[in-house]
């Protein structure tokens, strides 16, 4: 009997095109001898094709497990996960709370800070109060929408004029804006996999072709380079893997996640930059590449993610929700 997998992709976020590319790779990797695939495409207008999943238990007896491949808002932020919980369908990736916490850069930093994990100092502003006078961090600073991914809406500001412009840009994408101290150093990523006992893959280093790893550098220019394994002492690689798992557990992540790091040159210190609960699965995405280097090929990784989704759903079914 084949496992019937519903792949949901597209979506309303600014990462719609990346979602389409990720889904193509995942669908191609699903072994047709093991899986029967149902495709659900969400347009940028929010309309589903062929039609939406209904938030009712038992409404979809033809679906065994859902693989949401929705990057960013309305897919990676807990909204889709809430729909799937209401439908009582197993799904790949983090639950509602972990998805929402991880998506919100401010909330994620607070959780990590409370867990004693290193995060970059920041100041949080809101769309109705974008006064640059409140920013007492030294230049340069990074200005980010709190809830978005793929570096959409992110700017690096070197002076007051650039800061004011960056705040306006970020406010177009979210009502909450995070302003971080700029870290002079190197960028790394580390893949994490698992439910109760997660493990981290060998991390990689990102070498941007621009001043920082922005959307164009990630998906359009094809000039950024990656180094896997990174040129670091083994002790620092081990520390990054430890921090990646600690961040993953602090926000309550399950299934998968990619933790991004900054290593400050002047201090050698690692800072957790963010965690992505639905990382990219495109041909250039590093989440699957790090696992392939660590011994889990792409198709096996997809199998494992589906297994983890079914394991978690079975565990959840043992929980009582009524008296």
Q: What are the tens digits of pLDDT across the range 28-52?
A: 999 999 999 999 999 999 999 999 9
Q: Alpha helices, DSSP H only, in 56-159?
A: 79-86, 96-103, 105-114
Query: Which residue numbers in the chain have pLDDT < 70?
Result: 149-150, 210-222
Q: What local confidence, expressed as pLDDT, does residue 223 receive?
A: 77
Residues involved in catalysis? 15, 150, 219, 258, 260, 274, 276, 280
| pLDDT (0 to 100) of residue 209 | 76
Of 119, 117, 163, the residue nearest 144 (C-alpha): 163
At residue 203, the pLDDT reads 98
Contact 288, 298 (CB under 8 A): yes
The pLDDT value recorded for residue 316 is: 87
Which residue's entry shows tokens 């992709």?
9
180, 152 in Cβ contact below 8 A? no
- At residue 210, the pLDDT reads 65
What is the predicted pLDDT for the residue at 219? 54
């Amino acid at each position: 009997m084949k496992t019937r997998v519903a792949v949901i992709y597209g979506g309303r976020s600014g990462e719609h095109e990346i979602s389409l590319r990720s889904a193509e790779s995942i669908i191609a990797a699903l072994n047709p001898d093991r899986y029967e695939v149902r495709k659900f495409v969400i347009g940028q207008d929010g309309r589903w094709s062929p039609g939406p999943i209904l938030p009712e238990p038992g409404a979809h007896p033809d679906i065994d497990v859902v693989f949401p491949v929705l990057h960013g808002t309305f897919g990676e932020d807990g909204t889709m996960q809430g729909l799937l919980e209401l439908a009582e369908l197993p799904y790949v990736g983090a639950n509602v709370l972990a998805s929402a916490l991880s998506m919100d850069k401010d909330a994620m930093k607070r959780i990590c800070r409370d867990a004693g994990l290193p995060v970059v100092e920041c100041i949080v502003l809101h769309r109705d109060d974008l006064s640059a006078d409140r920013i007492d961090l030294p230049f340069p600073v990074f200005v980010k929408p709190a809830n978005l991914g793929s570096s959409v809406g992110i700017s690096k500001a070197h002076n007051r004029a650039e800061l004011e412009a960056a705040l306006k840009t970020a406010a177009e994408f979210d009502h909450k804006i995070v302003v971080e101290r700029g870290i002079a150093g190197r960028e790394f990523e580390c893949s994490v996999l698992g439910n109760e006992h997660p493990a981290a893959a060998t991390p990689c280093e990102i070498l941007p072709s621009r001043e920082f790893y922005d959307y164009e550098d990630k998906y359009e220019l094809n000039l950024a380079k990656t180094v896997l394994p990174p040129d670091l002492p083994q002790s620092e690689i081990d520390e990054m893997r430890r921090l990646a798992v600690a961040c993953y557990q602090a926000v309550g992540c399950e299934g998968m996640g990619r933790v991004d790091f900054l290593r400050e040159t002047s201090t050698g210190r690692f800072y957790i930059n963010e965690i992505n609960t639905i990382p990219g699965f495109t041909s250039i995405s590093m989440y699957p590449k790090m696992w392939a280097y660590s011994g889990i090929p792409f198709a096996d990784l997809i199998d494992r993610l589906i297994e983890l989704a079914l394991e978690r759903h079975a565990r959840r079914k043992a929980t009582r929700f009524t008296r």
